[in-house]
Amino acid sequence: MFFSSQDDVPLVKAVTKFIIRRQCRRQIDSEALGYLFNRLPRLHSVVYEPWLRPLMIEQVLILDSSDLDTIKYHLPRSLKRISIFKSTDECVLRTHRFFRSVMPGNWRSDSPTLAYIFAKRSLEFEKLSVAFFIEANDFFQSCQREWIWERLSLLCLTTRTLTQTNRPDVIASTLKNAAAAALSMPCLHTMALWNSFQGEACKFIYCAESGSTSLSWKGTFNLHMEQSMIHDWQKVAQKYTRYNLQIVQEPEILVQVESHSHAVELLELPVEVVDPISLLQMRKEEQFGRH
């Protein structure tokens, strides 16, 4: 997609939501997206589901810099809600010859620089969901003490620290960092941290509803929540809600997790994590691939 100038694209004030689902197989470069976004002055919501676009360096897949350019330079200032879901399912990667020689887990599609950009831009957002695009730990470590998220009500991020093989203190550190950020989010009603990797799936979710405030865990393994971490989240509940914090350990997931989309369904993640049509498409593709 190429435009010789922004005058080639009409100014459209009626559009408030822009969706690029994964069914759009064509890679749209950051400059073209910038042209489009600049012609949508009332754009409030973006759903972006890019395919893994890797570069191979020493058998490690790394993020294409065009993703960084898109987020850093071309997201419009009018945005209030953004959802990004990057497809990295192994069942999909195995169908492409380029990836067959790459061992599972050797790719990464996140970077601290990108996480910092998201953290800073999220100060202006109402809802933010980013899956397999940045690391939640990098996001929280980028946050500054003086930052206040005046409007942010929902935050969903993926983190590789939530695995059964990780040390409990490492997991607790991530969840404590999340609580520290939540103390500066007065409108927060949902924060979900989740992961899906090689048959595992889990979510940690803080939920402040009209009648209760809770921390809950659901996954293919149980998590013992450290008391110091719970105490940090109690501070969040006490600061912004009228209710005592409830701790909920949901039943362990006993079925085999087949993919990221399967994990989204099993974990009952917020609808903002992935477009419902894309979720249905992924499940159908996986079913077809098994036959």
For 53-83, write each residue's pLDDT tens digit. Answer: 655 444 344 445 566 677 777 788 899 999 9
Question: Which residues constitute the domain of residue 283?
Answer: 6-289
User: How much is the pLDDT for 216?
Assistant: 98
* % of the chain residues with pLDDT over 90: 63
Region of poorest pLDDT, from 29-33, 62-66, 203-207, 238-242? 62-66
Q: Contact 237/213 with Cβ under 8 angstroms?
A: yes
Q: Is 92 domain-assigned?
A: yes
Can you tell me the distance from the alpha carbon of 19 to that of 199, in angstroms, rounded to the nearest whole number?
A: 29
CB contact set of 216 (below 8 Å; sequence gap of 6+): 204, 205, 207, 247, 248, 249, 250
Whether the per-residue pLDDT at 135 is higher than 70: the answer is yes
pLDDT confidence tier of residue 290, bands split at 50, 70 and 90: low
pLDDT per residue as tens digits for the range 172-188 = 999 999 999 999 999 99
User: How much is the pLDDT for 66?
Assistant: 61
Secondary structure (3-state) at 62: strand
Average pLDDT over all residues of the chain: 86
pLDDT per residue as tens digits for the range 258-276 = 889 999 999 999 999 999 9
**pLDDT, mean of residues 42-55:** 82
**pLDDT, mean of residues 233-257:** 96
User: How much is the pLDDT for 81?
Assistant: 98
The distance between the two most distant Cα atoms of the chain, rounded to a whole number of Å, is 59
Q: Is 169 domain-assigned?
A: yes
Q: Is 119 domain-assigned?
A: yes
Q: Is 74 domain-assigned?
A: yes
Task: Please state the pTM of the whole predicted model.
Answer: 0.88
More confident residue, 252 or 95: 252
pLDDT confidence tier of residue 106, bands split at 50, 70 and 90: very low
More confident residue, 286 or 130: 130
**pLDDT, mean of residues 190-196:** 98
Region of poorest pLDDT, from 28-32, 147-151, 229-233? 28-32
Structure tokens at 84: 């990004």
Region of poorest pLDDT, from 50-64, 92-106, 110-124? 92-106
Can you tell me the distance from the alpha carbon of 208 to that of 244, in angstroms, rounded to the nearest whole number?
A: 10
Q: Is 10 domain-assigned?
A: yes
Residue indicated by tokens 């950009």: 117
Can you tell me the distance from the alpha carbon of 15 to that of 44, in angstroms, rounded to the nearest whole number?
A: 9
Q: Is 194 domain-assigned?
A: yes
Q: Which of 176, 111, 180, 175 is nearest to 149 (CA)?
A: 180
Q: Contact 195/159 with Cβ under 8 angstroms?
A: yes
- Based on DSSP, count helices (H) and strands (E) in the chain, helices before strands: 9, 11
User: How much is the pLDDT for 102?
Assistant: 44
User: How much is the pLDDT for 10?
Assistant: 86
User: How much is the pLDDT for 284?
Assistant: 86
Q: Is 1 domain-assigned?
A: no
| Number of domains observed in the structure of the chain | 1
Q: Is 31 domain-assigned?
A: yes
